[in-house]
Amino acid sequence: MCGIVGYIGESSASPILLDGLKKLEYRGYDSAGIAVFNGENVDICKTKGRIADLEKKLGDEGSLEGNIGIGHTRWATHGAPDDINAHPHKGGDGRITLVHNGIIENYIELKIMLEQKGYTFVSQTDTEVLAHLFDFFYNGDSLEAMSNVMKTVRGSYATAVLINDRPGEIIAARKDSPLIVGIGENENFLASDIPAVLKYTRDCYLLDDNQIAVLTKESIKLYDINKNEVHKDVYHVTWDVEAAEKGGFDHFMKKEIAEQPRTVRDTLSPRIKDSHVVIDELSLTDEEIKNIGTIHIVACGSAWHVGMAARYVIEKLAQIPCEVDLASEFRYRNPIVKPNDICIVISQSGETADTLAALREAKSKGARAVSIVNVVASTIARESDDVIYTMAGPEIAVATTKAFSAQLNVAYLLAIRFAKAKGLIGDEEERKLCEEMLRLPEIIEKLLEMDDYLKELAKKYVDSENVFFIGRGLDYAISLEGSLKLKEISYIHSEAYAAGELKHGTISLIEEGTPVFAVATQSDLLEKTLGNIKEVKARGARVVALVGENHTAADEFADDIIRVPEISDILMPSLTVVPLQIFAYYMALGRGCDVDKPRNLAKSVTVE
């Protein structure tokens, strides 16, 4: 996830671009750059670091003069966050200058093709492919070139391009990454998000996928991918800047919940090719996978819950023994780790002190460290042997949602990869799982439509003092997460129990009206969980059953039911977590809590 801005008009472009980038910094902040037309050529200034670093560099080196420009703030996916990989990038002999937000999935094959045509690459980014490809197709007609580029690349993008021989124009396009055009008078704007232009205009065009915008200072023309002109309604912004940074959502948490379809898609699609799991970042060979002794999974908080789910899936599919540890426990319990073991480290921030220490502990004992991390080039990422990045983009709400979903899906990918290497699943089963996983984004999209239902449900339970979550197997892992989400943001006491364990003590806490969420989606465990539902019901609990849509067995015992679409049992956690996140959100709202910044918590815990 990155941020793009563009300006074309009569004012000096640099300050407007910098100002816009500052508004988009939440989208990524590991490097930044701007490019400005100086009349003949396009000058670029870019640097590793934040917008403030870019501003300083411009101050030191002299700001770029001109009235047309594009800018970018980066959240690295391909290539480390450094000066060279920072955008803008040049294409051809320098006549093209381009910024890009998204991921070009077929960049390797395009790079090979372009290299064969004589193009030279200087960065490790997928974006440079886009710049050269644009040059390759450009023969004086920018619309034609953009249309051809869009028909050639696979993946997601919002992109803006300056062309040396078209000094009065910016051409831009989008697919699966946001892009808006701000409408001014004798000036026009481009941005990934509305706040970047709100200071200058409240009238925008919100581009749809596969649309192209051609901006001059006097005009904005919109086209479809086949170069047919399209006409869109002007969107008039009525909200203020602060709300807009949340994309119109009241809270970052809500926005991030809603971003999960895209997050899951971005995490999975580059790693599922022709119905096969291909994890380029994983350097383990089939032989090495076959020789793994034990997998040690270490993490904290929600990431540890992903670890709990990962254990079930890896043991089930790949039959490799897994141990899941809280990183803070692992580091001090002198764990038995052998050189043929691997350590899977899960962390959104990549900076959690205990998780980092656990990684070092496992490595010091000879285990190979494979990390699942969201923040590129974070310490855990840098110290791991292999790092598989989740493509969640910056997560701002303290309570994680979209990073959790992305981590879960990387765990599925690893389990399938391991099982395949060991010959425990064949092509057919792999194909079925891959196809189902690729459907997850669209199913999660549907789940988001349950918002009103969950809002009402929260109203019913908002005054609860204790809430319990029960489930078995993968449902237990999601119970843990559902319970943590609820307690961390609503401050309601909540506990999650393996459903079979409840009767060994905790059931004494169930009294008339105590809400118990029963997650019951695993077919082989359904009857057992049903038994536990009856146990709590008999003691007066108010049961909320979270079940697959075809399961009716819990209906007669449940006071409320949340139904999620059916998919393979092992993928169910990707779905069941979503209503629990939304429920927790509305419970916290209903109790007047600071949803995005719960008391006493921090997004990244860099102390023990």
Nearer to ligand G6P, 523 or 604 (CB): 604
Among 211, 355, 379, 529, binds ligand G6P (CB under 6 A): 355
* Residue 434 annotated as catalytic: no
Residues 6+ apart with CB under 8 A from 317: 415, 416, 418, 419, 424, 425, 570
Does 462 engage in binding with ligand G6P (CB under 6 A)?
A: no
**DSSP string computed for 33-50:** EEEEE-SSSEEEEEEES-
Does 352 engage in binding with ligand G6P (CB under 6 A)?
A: yes
Does 12 engage in binding with ligand G6P (CB under 6 A)?
A: no
User: Are the C-beta atoms of residues 387 and 281 closer than 8 Å to each other?
Assistant: yes
Does 349 engage in binding with ligand G6P (CB under 6 A)?
A: yes
Short-list 508, 533, 539, 505, CA closest to 519 = 533
Q: Which helix (H) or strand (E) holds 478?
A: helix 474-490
d(CA 525, CA 399): 29
Binding to ligand G6P (CB under 6 A): which residues in 563-602?
601
Does 101 engage in binding with ligand G6P (CB under 6 A)?
A: no
Among 347, 371, 405, 483, binds ligand G6P (CB under 6 A): 347
User: Are the C-beta atoms of residues 390 and 381 closer than 8 Å to each other?
Assistant: no
**Residue 307 CB, nearest distance to ligand G6P (Å)?**
11
Nearer to ligand G6P, 380 or 545 (CB): 380
Of residues 221, 363, 503, 603, which has the active-site annotation?
A: 603
Of residues 2, 204, 343, 593, which has the active-site annotation?
A: 2
Binding to ligand G6P (CB under 6 A): which residues in 492-521?
none
Does 400 engage in binding with ligand G6P (CB under 6 A)?
A: yes
Give how many residues touch ligand G6P by CB under 6 A: 16
Q: Residue of minimal CB distance from ligand G6P?
A: 301
CA gyration radius for the chain?
A: 25
Does 605 engage in binding with ligand G6P (CB under 6 A)?
A: yes
Does 490 engage in binding with ligand G6P (CB under 6 A)?
A: no
Nearer to ligand G6P, 177 or 390 (CB): 390
Nearer to ligand G6P, 42 or 300 (CB): 300
3-state SS, residue 345: strand
Nearer to ligand G6P, 475 or 488 (CB): 488
d(CA 352, CA 375): 11
Q: Taking contact as CB under 6 A, which single stretch among the options 104-112, 254-262, 343-351, 445-453 is the one that binds ligand G6P?
A: 343-351
Structure tokens at 564: 């999620």
Residue 463, judged by CB atoms within 10 A of its CB (0-12, 13-18, 19+), counts as exposed
**Residue 140 CB, nearest distance to ligand G6P (Å)?**
49
Does 376 engage in binding with ligand G6P (CB under 6 A)?
A: no
**Residue 373 CB, nearest distance to ligand G6P (Å)?**
8
User: Are the C-beta atoms of residues 457 and 288 closer than 8 Å to each other?
Assistant: no
Does 471 engage in binding with ligand G6P (CB under 6 A)?
A: no
d(CA 30, CA 82): 8
Q: Taking contact as CB under 6 A, which single stretch among the options 1-9, 276-284, 308-316, 396-404 is the one that binds ligand G6P?
A: 396-404
**Residue 597 CB, nearest distance to ligand G6P (Å)?**
11
Among 6, 28, 81, 301, binds ligand G6P (CB under 6 A): 301
Helix pair angle (474-490, 572-590), 10° resolution: 20
Site map 271..300 versus ligand G6P, x via CB under 6 A: -----------------------------x
d(CA 70, CA 98): 8
d(CA 169, CA 570): 51
d(CA 451, CA 440): 18
Distances (CA, A) of 289 to 3, 322, 373: 39, 13, 21
Binding to ligand G6P (CB under 6 A): which residues in 32-91?
none
Residues 6+ apart with CB under 8 A from 203: 182, 183, 234, 235, 236, 237
Site map 407..446 versus ligand G6P, x via CB under 6 A: ----------------------------------------
d(CA 47, CA 34): 10
3-state SS, residue 309: helix
* Residue 2 annotated as catalytic: yes
**Residue 361 CB, nearest distance to ligand G6P (Å)?**
16
Q: Taking contact as CB under 6 A, which single stretch among the options 66-74, 397-405, 441-449, 503-511 is the one that binds ligand G6P?
A: 397-405
**Residue 158 CB, nearest distance to ligand G6P (Å)?**
27
Residues 6+ apart with CB under 8 A from 83: 31, 46, 47, 48
3-state SS, residue 456: helix
Does 378 engage in binding with ligand G6P (CB under 6 A)?
A: no
Nearer to ligand G6P, 349 or 409 (CB): 349
* Residues known to be catalytic: 2, 603
Q: Kindly list the residues in this chain that would bind ligand G6P in the complex (CB under 6 A).
A: 300-303, 347-349, 352, 355, 398-400, 601, 603-605
